[in-house]
Amino acid sequence: MTEPDFTTILEDLANRRKDALEMGGKDKVARQHELGRLTARERIEYFVDSDSFLEMGMLNQSEFQGDEFKSPADGLIGGVARVNGRPVVIEATDKTVFAGAEGSVHVRKVNKIHTYAAKRSFPLICLAEGGGLRIPDALGSDGISQNLFPLSLLNHGRKTPFITGIMGDSYGMPTWCGVSSDFTVQVKGVCMAVAGPRILEIATYEKISPEELGGWEMHAKYTGQVDAFAQNDKNCIKLMKEFLSYMPLNQSEEPPFKQTGDDPYRRVDEALKIVPTRLRRLYNMRHLIKVIVDNGIYMELKADFGKALLTCLARMNGRVVGIIANQPMVSAGAMGPNEADKATDFICLCDSFNIPLIFLHDVPGFLVGSKAEKMKMPTKIMVWNQALVRASVPVISIIIRKSTGAAYANMSGPGMGNDFIVAWPTADINFTGPEVGVNVVYGAELANAENADAKRAELLKQWAFDSSPYKAAAKNLIDDIIDPRDTRKFICQTLEFACHKNGSIGEHKLADWPTGF
């Protein structure tokens, strides 16, 4: 028998690799393009630095008899690469192979890729779409037993940043990745849910469209399971890379510094025009954030969820910071259950990846009433507080205008573990707002007063004095009262000290907290 020479052997290898690169075939690739979407390989190519992708598992196939040659890479393309010169682990579901559904080799590969990201402390990038577990692979006690959740997905523990793009209709594994990630982007027009509408109709007789079930508006306004939304694949990748630019490679590093050329001590004269001195007048907190941060650049997360609270990543003097700020434009800044979940999630993110926190107060309190109680408002307030006091990154708290009741604590008030807490001279700090407080405390006296209006005005004047920040400052309950125009300088200066010894690297007590509440 003639032994094969290397030419024959290498030709066979080249052909196998060529077949894998063609994914599900020209027709299915064309169908993906007709939908306005990139293929899995095109997505990876667009995401990573040129010629930096080293693939793992290219020659994988389904182990289900009869499907071996219909399942290149078993529908999952993954490996290591560089993004802006930094190493990452990246995977992309291939919709052209069994509609992106997961077989047993696919699931095994997911586990190996995720495990490697944790082992080498590299960020994990997931470019996702797909139809869930393949039924033939899951049948029987042996099938389902080997195709449950990969342990690497369940115990990732925020050791490295985990970033997911939901780039096509996603059920099963893509959804599990999306809701387990530190940052998730969803392309508008696609669905993310446990199971698709067809399965629901068969199993529960419920008829529902993909958009109603798990479209972008559902997650933007109601679930908060997605952080940002994109118009198309390329826009999705752009947002994912933007988030990655704020992240360290892993817990043991500080986020990357960036020379911005913006004077850290510049005065913010615009602040006096943005924030009204009258407590009832509205303004947009985003405008204040824009003039404070480096070059006016910041990245907002969950913009349409819990809209009375803003959570943003930005830079101050080149250092990455996380900003939690009340938004007076929505419910006057009063916070409900969604805002509480949003804050807790963001605190866990920042504490896990060594990002100092900046709190900007302008809050009249929490939303109260039966609706909030039905959504476990007390629990959500306390979970937020528990996360806050466990955070070990530097925390700087600034009372811009008002900070009232329990919300004063949740926004990192005195005794909540912050490094520095100061107020603007316009700050109004109290257990409740002046009108409510006067009516509750002095209700009987006002009812019997000869001139109730004059008495109320007198009491309101006294209440306003009691609520000024000067009493708290006099008793060393807050650190100082600052000129609003020095807000940027104060933040940059205090960060220099708070981050001096070991940078902003914390103890990561929140790294193992759930990724949803």
According to DSSP H, which parts of 22-62 are helical? 26-34, 40-47
Q: What is the mean pLDDT of the chain?
A: 91
Phi (first) and psi of residue 92, to 5 degrees: -140, 125
- The model's pLDDT over 150-188, given as tens digits with 9 standing for 90+, comes to 778 778 889 999 999 999 999 989 999 999 999 999 999
Q: Where are the domains of the chain?
A: 6-246, 271-427+468-498, 431-467
Q: What is the CATH number of domain 271-427+468-498?
A: 3.90.226.10
Coil, strand or helix: which one is 302? coil
Which residues of the chain fall short of a pLDDT of 70?
1, 135-140, 142-143, 145-148, 433-440, 463-465, 517
> Under a CB-based contact definition with an 8 Å cutoff, are residues 272 and 485 in contact?
yes
The amino acid present at 428, given as its one-letter code, is D
User: What percentage of the chain has pLDDT greater than the value 90?
Assistant: 72
Eight-class DSSP state of 222: I
> Does the domain at residues 6-246 carry the CATH identifier 3.90.1300.10?
no
Could you tell me the CA-to-CA distances from 314 to 242, 419, 444, 472 in Å, in that order? 11, 19, 50, 30
For residue 42, list its beta bridge partners: none
> Under a CB-based contact definition with an 8 Å cutoff, are residues 127 and 44 in contact?
yes
Q: State the Cα–Cα distance between residues 284 and 329, nearest whole angstrom.
A: 6
> Under a CB-based contact definition with an 8 Å cutoff, are residues 314 and 326 in contact?
no
Q: State the Cα–Cα distance between residues 28 and 282, nearest whole angstrom.
A: 53
For residue 147, the model assigns a pLDDT of 64
For residue 459, the model assigns a pLDDT of 81
Q: How many CB atoms lie within 10 A of CB 11?
A: 12
- The model's pLDDT over 184-225, given as tens digits with 9 standing for 90+, comes to 999 999 999 988 888 777 778 888 898 999 999 999 999 999
For residue 490, list its beta bridge partners: none
Terminal C-alpha separation, the chain:
66
> Under a CB-based contact definition with an 8 Å cutoff, are residues 194 and 169 in contact?
no
* Closest listed residue to residue 493, CA positions, set 424, 413, 422, 438: 422
For residue 506, the model assigns a pLDDT of 86
Q: State the Cα–Cα distance between residues 287 and 271, nearest whole angstrom.
A: 9
Phi (first) and psi of residue 313, to 5 degrees: -105, 140
Q: At what angle do helices 233-246 and 40-47 cross, to 10 degrees?
A: 40
| Residue 178 in tokens | 């999306």
Could you tell me the CA-to-CA distances from 5 to 12, 16, 59 in Å, in that order? 11, 17, 22
The dihedral region occupied by 45, where left means phi > 0, alpha psi between -120 and 50, and beta the remainder, is alpha
For residue 334, the model assigns a pLDDT of 93
The tokens 């990139």 sit on which residue?
Answer: 38
Q: At what angle do helices 434-441 and 452-467 cross, to 10 degrees?
A: 120
The tokens 């100061």 sit on which residue?
Answer: 422
For residue 139, the model assigns a pLDDT of 67
The amino acid present at 272, given as its one-letter code, is L
**Residues in the chain, how many?**
517
For residue 20, the model assigns a pLDDT of 92
> Under a CB-based contact definition with an 8 Å cutoff, are residues 449 and 433 in contact?
no
Q: Do domains 6-246 and 271-427+468-498 have the same CATH topology?
A: yes
Q: State the Cα–Cα distance between residues 345 and 226, nearest whole angstrom.
A: 12
| Residue 199 in tokens | 């399965």
